[in-house]
Structure 1
Amino acid sequence: MPTEILVGGRDVLVPEAFLRGGERYADDLRVRVLEDCGHLIPEQRPDAVVSAARALFAHSRERY
């Protein structure tokens, strides 16, 4: 199942390092860091969330 995790580069609750390397445990996992963002990504960068969701769903639709 294609999966994309967005993480804020300035997130103090879930640091980027905690999520890095998870790709080796999943067939199709991508971790994308938004450097100019903290923990509340949907509030701080709604454009990035919408863009990522559209790309993920379009990709999923093509595969399945």
Structure 2
Amino acid sequence: MAADKQISVTKETQEELHELKKPGQTYDDPLKELVHSRRREVLKKRFQELEGADGDKLTSLEVL
């Protein structure tokens, strides 16, 4: 198990995390879910940008 670390959050953020936390979970669990969700959002946005990109500006895989 990784070493525990303390992070500073406002009281409001702590309360919101507490509301997201299910019984038996640590604060680490909803934080991991939030990180995972954010990463998925970033990837989704990037794929959408690529889908809308001008094909002439993209590098063909055959060139690589």
TM above 0.5, yes or no, is no
Q: Which has the higher helix share?
A: 2
TM class, shorter-length: 0.3 to 0.5
User: Relative contact order: is structure 1 or structure 2 higher (C-alpha 8 Å, sep ≥ 6)?
Assistant: 1
Look at both structures and tell me which one has the larger radius of gyration over its CA atoms.
Answer: 2
Q: TM-score, normalised by structure 2?
A: 0.38
Q: TM-score, normalised by structure 1?
A: 0.38
